[in-house]
Structure 1
Amino acid sequence: MEMFHFRGTADVIIARQRGRDIAKAIGFGLVDQTIVAYIISELAVKLHSPLSGRGYMVIRTIAGCREESKLGIEVRLFDQFHGLSRVQVSSLEKLVDDMDVIRDRAHGTVMTFRKWLVSPLHID
């Protein structure tokens, strides 16, 4: 698990690259690596905006159920901005396998997305 706080543009670039590296390490192809990096970048830019309150992002690898051998990547955004949401969820949810958004007026927004590695079909 890696945590990123965004104080400048360089932090956004580091998080994007690290997300791509994690996706590559668990076996995602180039297209999915690019999708993961794009979504991380979009969310990180929202956290870095001048109107933003405090916030951070966590990137980690995840595994499916014990019966399944699937792996994936999870990115969780903790945005403590108390105004209207700055992230357009509808454009991002088409690119991921699973997305949750929880908004709380007292604590801000927690957005989680997951992208699962689809293993190739094996026919015996």
Structure 2
Amino acid sequence: MSSASIHIPNMLTDQNLAMQAIVIVSLWAGIGYNTVLFNAALDMVREDYDNDQVRAVMMIEIVGKSTADVIRKLRGLPEIHTIHSTNGNWDLIAEIHSGSLSEFDNVLRKVRMIDGILNSETNLLLSSV
């Protein structure tokens, strides 16, 4: 760099700049590094849905051969966003979207009153990661 006539000061040997260099490094070690990690962690949590919306998944167990009737009735509820068939202890998984907790509570009541539903378990979706 000296051939291009640019003078770069040595920050650790220059008495006027050494303290400033130490302060900058100390701030980076104490604040900057943690801030970078914190921002990286925040970036891992996606904001891919409306914060004013309640979202949940409901696992549903169906009695006998009433699956088609239950699906038809679930599709009639506008808050039921998607319905998936599955295997295991549950027969269906429904994704629920509602505008508030009171609307969400009403949807749960309506679903549980559908003939053919033996059991259900519902989990709120807090954030996507």
Structure-2-length-normalised TM-score: 0.33
Structure with higher helix content = 2
Q: TM-score, normalised by structure 1?
A: 0.34
Write 1 or 2 for the structure with the bigger share of strand. Answer: 1
Q: Which protein has greater RCO, CA pairs closer than 8 Å, 6+ apart?
A: 2
